[in-house]
Structure 1
Amino acid sequence: MVTIAGTGAYLPGIPLTNDDMAGLCGTLPPEVLEGLQVQRRHWAIDPTSGRHLVSNGEMAEAAALQALERAGIEPGDVELLVMSTSSPEYHLPAQVTFVQARLGLTRCAVVEVRSGCAGAVQALDIAWRMLESGRYANAVVIGSEIISPLLFPYLRSGDPEAVRLRDRISFYNFGDGAGAVVLTSGDGPDRLHGSVNACIGGDRQPGMHIIGGGTHAPIAEQLAARQMVRLNLDVVQSEKFGPTVFVEALDALLRASDLTIDEITGCVLPEGNAPYFTAELESAGMSAEQWKTVQSKIMENLSDVGATGSAAVPIALDDAWQHGRIRPGDKVLLLGIETSRWIYAGMALTWTAEKSPR
């Protein structure tokens, strides 16, 4: 039997409000702000100088240590680390090995998933299967993301009004952070009911694309660009096709788990209540009555942390557990929906961790 023994989260710096964003990059129309739903986000950089205050690895370490403490496991006893991030500190070595070093682990098994919002659920599924095989007694699964350094170059003019409206959406939408989940293995019934993983955008352009710093073009050409690394977000397609990804993911996960939505206590879906996401659900194939049932079960904290990529699901899961919305015996869905190439990953499980000390 594999069980979740604890969770943890880390959010850097002080919360940056929408008023803070307006002073940095200009305002957004009220209807756009309402659609995003985000009220606060945390940055790992100083918003005025761009100086890094904390690294991806430091955030991941902090989330992992909190999860381990709550699970009652010493860092030195960790046997497997599985991490997802789309914003590593270096191309190589893998980011997870830097977290390993920070935890003081001379030797352990490591796996890294290079992904965004779906990545932490993919990482959790991988770790779960590896523990089921009997190879390891425990694992720490981490999702960590530092997106703010990609945004800061847009502020170099010092004039908030110089930032284009389409770029401002990213400022208001994204935040930095890390979340972690500790898994342990032992005797008892299986707690995983089913899992799904698919990319349904093989014939589509990316909905979000981080360009630069890779091998897609000669380095000399990249250095000559106005901005070597940039984040492109297709807001229109995210609104139109994102709900389709969600509806398919939810249906596939329920079928794979042999569960109905009425049997589910909670659905951890970080952006599940954002109006931009929900407006097109009916056209994606979900009736108003179905959505009403699903919506009553969604657990997320997007308004307080922003869209945090790989960290989104574990941060939202930790928030739900900390506030007592998830209890032992509850059937919980974890769903990561990623617009980068229209990927989804989901797991349905019975919750086992006792109430966490706050």
Structure 2
Amino acid sequence: MTASTTPLHLAGTGTALPGDPVGNAELSTAFGISEEWIDLFVGTRTRHFGWDLATGKVTHTLTDLCAESAARALAAAGLGPAELDFLVLATATPDSLLPTTANETADRLGLNHLPTYQIQAGCSGAVQALDVARALLAAGHRTGLVVAGDVTDRFLEAGRDATALATQELVNYVLFGDGAGAAVVTADPHDGAVAVRALLHRFTGQGRPPGQVVGWHGAVPPRPDRQMLHEDYRTIEEEVPALAGEIVWELLHTAGWRPQDVDHLLPPQLSGHMTERIVAGLGLPPTTREVSCVRDTGNTGNALPLLQLDRLLTRLAPGERAVSVVVESSKWIKAGLALERPGTRTEGQPNR
């Protein structure tokens, strides 16, 4: 359901990306994948990994990244951990099944005696977490923390000749990167906070095969012929642009906005090239400014919407509006946000 969410405000955001950016040439050397193919197929320049490409040694856990981004969000909001009433974390790649990454992150931040939640989700997880936060604020809490992120160290094999993989598995070696993002949410509008005017979170996958599968195994070893990561990239290319358009129009309808009212667009971030195609097909005015990060960060899964929001908050002027569009392709979820920074436009800003 699309819901009006006036009580939900973003008071501060923060992000964390591990290590130095990894360029396509370095990725090509590590996995034997053509640098030209990466450029042509994906259109992503760099990404970050929380593990060493040569040895597979983990340098940053998801908890590391979540705690770092959360600390930055708190600093941006001018708040301390003691002022939080809850924490909600979304990921597809937790550090362990138990204890949850949400609780490990809370411990790292020095939090105690507050409710914590962990959502198992794909790219829409950050919006799902904001939806849970909205409900918690409506129930009487005043301030909370939403965190989302993913890491790849358990799914991409260091030193592997990836050229021997099926295309559905090979694509994951060039699409993804590691990272986390966080947002401090409040029921009351703090000075400079951005208001969420509409929030969309709707499962639309009944009877539809998944576009992405991330495998899991416990005590039983995985079958040699089983792909731990499977990406139906062709289906995603066909389905995501139409779903993105539906999300935009549903958010505009709920917020009571016209297309010309949107100053900034945060489009889905599967890859650089797909983002270009999606933006071109949405039909928003050419004056709408795109806020993207995937060409520099790779697809960081749950972190992406918050990475975009972190960039948006430095650009969104008083009176300006933005639409964030998120498509979850593993089992098809439409998600998104309509955002506004309250205030009066300054002279020289375009009129709606």
What band does the TM-score fall into relative to the shorter chain? Answer: 0.7 to 0.9
What is aligned with 1:75?
Answer: 81
* TM norm structure 2: 0.86
Q: CA–CA distance in 1 between the matches of 2:258 and 2:270?
A: 18
Once the two structures are superposed, residues 313-339 of structure 1 have per-residue CA deviations (whole angstroms, 9 ceiling, x without a partner) of 001111233xx3223332222222111
| 1:3 Cα deviation from its structure 2 partner | 2.2
Q: CA–CA distance in 1 between the matches of 2:340 and 2:289?
A: 15
Give 3-state SS (helix, strand or coil) of 2:18's partner. coil
| Aligned counterpart for 1:319 among listed residues 308, 311, 323 | 311
Give 3-state SS (helix, strand or coil) of 2:269's partner. coil
CA contact (8 A) 1:94 1:112 kept: yes
Q: CA–CA distance in 2 between the matches of 1:319 and 1:109?
A: 29
| 1:94 Cα deviation from its structure 2 partner | 2.7
Distance change (3 Å), C-alpha of 1:330 and 1:132: farther
CA contact (8 A) 2:88 2:133 kept: yes
| 1:160 Cα deviation from its structure 2 partner | 5.5
- Residue 297 of structure 2 is aligned to residue 305 of structure 1: yes
| 1:274 Cα deviation from its structure 2 partner | 3.3
Q: CA–CA distance in 2 between the matches of 1:146 and 1:306?
A: 12
Q: CA–CA distance in 2 between the matches of 1:227 and 1:314?
A: 35
CA contact (8 A) 2:163 2:170 kept: no
* TM norm structure 1: 0.85
| Aligned counterpart for 1:334 among listed residues 307, 324, 327 | 324
What is aligned with 2:223?
Answer: 225
- Residue 272 of structure 2 is aligned to residue 274 of structure 1: yes
Q: CA–CA distance in 1 between the matches of 2:121 and 2:136?
A: 20
Give 3-state SS (helix, strand or coil) of 1:70's partner. helix
Distance change (3 Å), C-alpha of 1:34 and 1:194: same
CA contact (8 A) 1:193 1:348 kept: yes
Once the two structures are superposed, residues 185-231 of structure 1 have per-residue CA deviations (whole angstroms, 9 ceiling, x without a partner) of 326999332221112222211111001226xxxx43xx052388711
Aligned-partner residue type, residue 13 of structure 1: G
Q: CA–CA distance in 2 between the matches of 1:24 and 1:95?
A: 29
| 1:131 Cα deviation from its structure 2 partner | 1.5
Aligned-partner residue type, residue 320 of structure 1: L
Distance change (3 Å), C-alpha of 1:271 and 1:11: same
What is aligned with 1:349?
Answer: 339
5 Å-filtered alignment, 1:112-191, equals 112-133=118-139, 135-152=140-157, 155-156=159-160, 159=161, 161-186=163-188, 191=195
Unmatched tracts of structure 2, length 5 or more: 1-6, 344-352
Considering fraction of residues, name the structure with more helix: 1
What is aligned with 1:22?
Answer: 28
| 1:270 Cα deviation from its structure 2 partner | 4.3
Q: CA–CA distance in 2 between the matches of 1:278 and 1:64?
A: 30
CA contact (8 A) 1:144 1:179 kept: yes
What is aligned with 2:348?
Answer: none
Aligned-partner residue type, residue 169 of structure 1: V
What is aligned with 1:256?
Answer: 254
- Residue 209 of structure 2 is aligned to residue 211 of structure 1: no
Give 3-state SS (helix, strand or coil) of 2:44's partner. coil
CA contact (8 A) 2:194 2:341 kept: no
| 1:276 Cα deviation from its structure 2 partner | 3.1
Q: CA–CA distance in 1 between the matches of 2:198 and 2:72?
A: 27
Alignment length, in residue pairs? 335
CA contact (8 A) 2:202 2:334 kept: yes
| 1:16 Cα deviation from its structure 2 partner | 0.5
| 1:169 Cα deviation from its structure 2 partner | 2.0
CA contact (8 A) 2:56 2:157 kept: yes
Distance change (3 Å), C-alpha of 1:89 and 1:187: closer
Distance change (3 Å), C-alpha of 1:43 and 1:65: same
User: Which piece of structure 1 moves more, 303-312 or 163-172?
Assistant: 163-172
| 1:245 Cα deviation from its structure 2 partner | 1.6
CA RMSD of aligned residues (A): 2.7
| 1:32 Cα deviation from its structure 2 partner | 5.7
Q: CA–CA distance in 2 between the matches of 1:94 and 1:317?
A: 25
